[in-house]
Amino acid sequence: MQTDTTMASPAERSRRIRSNRLLTWSRRLLRSKTGTVGFILVLAVLFLAAFADVLATHNPNEVNPALMLKPPAWLEGGSSQHLLGTDHLGRDIWSRMVYGSRISLLVGVTAVVFAGLIGVAVGIVAGFYGGWLDRVFMRLVDAFLSIPNILLALVILSVFGPGVWTLIFVLGVTNWVNYARLVRGEVLSMKEREFVKAARAIGVKNRMVMVRHLLPNVMSPFIVISTLSVATTIILEASLSFLGLGIQPPDISWGGILSDGRDYVATSWWLATFPGIAITLTVLGIIFLGDWLRDVLDPRGQNRR
Amino acid sequence: MKKDTLLSVSELKTYFFMESGAVPSVHGVSFEVKQGETVAIVGESGCGKSVTSLSIMGLVSSPGKIVGGDIRFHGQDLTTISEKEYRKLRGNDLSMIFQEPLTSLNPLFTIGSQLDEVILLHQQVTKEEARQKGIEMLKKVGIPRAEQVYRSYPHQLSGGMRQRVMIAMALACEPKLLIADEPTTALDVTIQAQILQLMRKLVKDNNTAIMLITHDLGVVAEMADTVIVMYAGQVVEQADVFTLFAAPAHPYTQGLLASTPKIQTIEEELQSIEGTVPTQETMPKGCRFFPRCPHASEQCVQNQPSLLKIGGGQLVRCWLFDAKEAASG
């Protein structure tokens, strides 16, 4: 890992370090099978989302009553025109899924980041300062936990009206409590560790103690929970779409396609199956990648992996 | 030659406010540390040594609070200054080494970045200068391959190495007072000796005063100029190191010395002090040590003795001496 960098000029040295780093990271990624699989899956979904315009074969919202419920291309009655078949309105499922990846990813990831930001901030502050601040925040968390997520989401969505950003807001608001509790717990045990005391003993400001010494140390459980959370968020988005309060047409999400297909599961399984598989693979990919990230971000694990 | 007083603690009271009531962890402690002097504070676990040192650093955290007395450092009363002013002192003029070198370093950052943190915090230097200084400090504390260690993570170093790093961090800004809270307790004996030697050398070079918190009398004998014996939140005896070992006055000090193994008297059974440090509920009304004291009398049960001068700069909190003095005087 360490090459002779002592003689090189600073610019040369930093260039070498950078290319070295890329190499080390890719080597580390390849060493973990699940990490590689996760990386490929996530990359694939990102690719779909980025090149939806090119990859889609049809206009995803184009209704064609003549081609209702066509099976996938490789089945009897399918046509090469519609690779994954068509839905009850004759829309091309492949194209809908390709476009749907955009919103599903956007909602899943943004909502988790949003919830994570609130939750981590609240958790660190509550855990670090303790006292009344902690009590107020934690009672707030309890209050949130006592309301069923879906009910809270329904109330907010019916007040503000459905839409992508409202949905992200709702999912964030219902989820932050999990992070807050987790992070607070970690901080409580972490702040008794001597390096936190030592940091204060060398005159580090409270704010810096939180940002520099506590935050990085709570990141690994956070990454694990948040990757799992992207999964549940995508699914929660699907259930809200199913209830008619999620993504509204003409916007498309995987959850929306899935719930559209619900009525036809018995006769035309492909309507619900393909978005279901897409959600599963994406979630799996994110979890694998998250797991690997947690391992490599912890310097203690570097020699093992 | 009379040295200048660096730190003077007087009537310090630090209480912990628990649900069951206030617990006086430090109860009226007074002492002085002169420039370049090493003062050892000894006593059993739970007698207020660590809380005293945290009080001086201003790091007593809730539910603990300093409720009385003052701490003068360079004539400035630390109990009244703002948090911002305190932060400027910490790590700069006032430094502290903790007991557990294994957990005193943030596991997620390299030694170098943690060393730089303290230097950049208190000195107007560039990152490169901080790096130079950091490596120089590592060399000073006797770490071989300093450049490599500078880039290492804490888990890659042994306990002794980590404690050296902690010392390097503590001394990076040339503090006037170094508080070492059981700096060698977690280390094995050979490393202990090396660390003590190192501390002694660095202190001599920079004329740094040390406040050494320990329960290891061997360490005290090796390092200290003055020894303060604490019991149940109070100072029970204070003397220079030679007097203390030669003529311990307080029964508690005698007990501590008797419970230390001595190589000359190997056949003798090791003494221990019966009982434990009293808790808040069992705190005696009179002398705090009387339930465990072999010389306890009625007077000890009823009234608390005060800290008496018994000559040669030795101070003791015991009725035995009061009685003697009364008899001779």
Give the nearest partner residue to A203 out of B92, B99, B103, using CB atoms.
Answer: B92
- Whether residue A96 lies within 8 A of chain B, CB to CB, comes out as no
Which residue shows structure tokens 């390849």? A30
Q: Specify the length of chain A in residues.
A: 305
B100: left (phi over 0), alpha (psi -120 to 50) or beta: beta
Rg (CA), chain B: 21
A266 exposure class (CB count in 10 Å sphere: 0-12, 13-18, 19+): exposed
Q: Is residue A16 part of a domain?
A: no
Among A176, A110, A170, A111, residue whose Cα is nearest residue A137: A176
- For B242, phi then psi, to 5°, come to -70, -45
What residues in A contact B170, CB-CB < 8 Å? 202
Each residue's pLDDT tens digit, A137-153: 999 999 888 888 888 88
Mean pLDDT of B288-316: 82
Q: Is residue A70 part of a domain?
A: no
Which residue shows structure tokens 């360079």? B74
Q: What share of chain B is helix, strand, coil (3-state, %, to 5)?
A: 35, 25, 40
- Evaluate if residue B285 carries a pLDDT over 60: yes
Q: Which of residues 184-213 of A touch B (CB under 8 A)?
A: 193-195, 197-205, 212-213
Q: Is residue A287 part of a domain?
A: yes
Q: What is the pLDDT of residue B266?
A: 59
- Evaluate if residue B327 carries a pLDDT over 50: no
Residue A67 tokens, joined? 């081609």
Among B153, B147, B146, B156, residue whose Cα is nearest residue B108: B153
Three-state SS at B160: helix
Over chain B, what is the mean pLDDT? 83
CA angle A243, A248, A253 (to 5 degrees): 85
Enclosing H/E stretch for B269 = none
Among A179, A178, A161, A181, residue whose Cα is nearest residue A170: A161
Q: What is the 3-state secondary structure (H, E, C) of chain A?
A: CCCCCCCCCHHHHHHHHHHHHHHHHHHHHHHCHHHHHHHHHHHHHHHHHHCHHHHCCCCCCCCCHHHCCCCCCCCCCCCCCCCCCECCCCCEHHHHHHHHHHHHHHHHHHHHHHHHHHHHHHHHHHHHHCHHHHHHHHHHHHHHHHCCHHHHHHHHHHHHCCCHHHHHHHHHHHHHHHHHHHHHHHHHHHCCCHHHHHHHHCCCCHHHHHHHHHHHHHHHHHHHHHHHHHHHHHHHHHHHHHCCCCCCCCCCCHHHHHHHHHHHCCCCCHHHHHHHHHHHHHHHHHHHHHHHHHHHHCHHHCCCC
Enclosing H/E stretch for B12 = strand B5-18
Residues (pLDDT < 50) of chain A are 1-6, 303-305
Identify residues of B whose CB sits under 8 angstroms from chain A CBs: 57, 59, 62, 86-92, 95-96, 98-100, 103-109, 117-118, 121-122, 153, 155, 166, 169-170
Q: Is residue A112 part of a domain?
A: yes
Instruction: Identify the residue among B108, B120, B213 best suited for mutation to test binding to A, counting A beta carbons within 10 A and taking the highest.
Output: B108
Q: What is the pLDDT of residue B39?
A: 92
B275 exposure class (CB count in 10 Å sphere: 0-12, 13-18, 19+): exposed
What residues in B contact A299, CB-CB < 8 Å? 107-108, 153, 155
Q: What is the pLDDT of residue A3?
A: 47
Among B257, B223, B260, B226, residue whose Cα is nearest residue B241: B226
- Inter-residue contact B96 to B179 (CB < 8 Å): yes
Give the minimum alpha-carbon distance from A165 to chain B in angstroms, rounded to a whole number. 36
Q: What's the CA gap between A197 and B91, in Å, rounded?
A: 12
Count Cβ atoms below 10 Å from residue A206 Cβ, excluding itself. 14
Cβ of A203 within 8 Å of Cβ of B62? The answer is: no
Give the nearest partner residue to A203 out of B88, B100, B107, using CB atoms.
Answer: B88
Could you tell me the pTM of the whole model? 0.72
Residue B104 tokens, joined? 């005193």
Q: Is residue A265 part of a domain?
A: yes
Q: What's the CA gap between A168 and A107, in Å, rounded?
A: 6
Asked if the bond preceding B248 is cis, omega within 30° of 0, the reply is no
Taking CA atoms, what residue in B is nearest to A129? B62
Give the nearest partner residue to B122 out of A197, A203, A212, using CB atoms.
Answer: A203
Q: What's the CA gap between A37 and A39, in Å, rounded?
A: 5
CA A33 vs CA A51, A226, A288, A292, A301: distances in Å = 27, 21, 9, 9, 16
Q: Is residue A126 part of a domain?
A: yes
Give the nearest partner residue to B91 out of A197, A202, A216, using CB atoms.
Answer: A202
Mean pLDDT of B183-190: 79
CA B157 vs CA B144, B150, B189: distances in Å = 12, 11, 18
Q: Is residue A151 part of a domain?
A: yes
As its CATH architecture, domain B5-93+174-282 has: 3-Layer(aba) Sandwich (3.40)
The tally of domains found in chain A comes to: 1
- For B96, phi then psi, to 5°, come to -140, 140
B4 contacts: CB under 8 Å, gap ≥ 6: B34, B35
Q: What's the CA gap between B79 and A228, in Å, rounded?
A: 48
Q: What's the CA gap between A204 and A195, in Å, rounded?
A: 11
Q: What's the CA gap between A210 and B146, in Å, rounded?
A: 29
Give the single-character DSSP code of B182: S
Asked if the bond preceding B63 is cis, omega within 30° of 0, the reply is yes
Q: What is the pLDDT of residue B207?
A: 85
Enclosing H/E stretch for B226 = strand B226-231
What CATH number did the domain enclosing A170 receive? 1.10.3720.10
Q: What's the CA gap between A175 and A159, in Å, rounded?
A: 19
Cβ of B103 within 8 Å of Cβ of A195? The answer is: yes
Highest mean pLDDT among B58-72, B93-107, B122-136: B122-136
ipTM greater than cut 0.90? no
Share of chain B above pLDDT 70, in %: 94
**Can you give the residue range of the structural domain that contains A113?**
41-63+93-301
Pairing mode, strands B234-240 and B315-316: antiparallel
Q: What's the CA gap between B208 and B174, in Å, rounded?
A: 8
CA angle B222, B223, B229 (to 5 degrees): 100
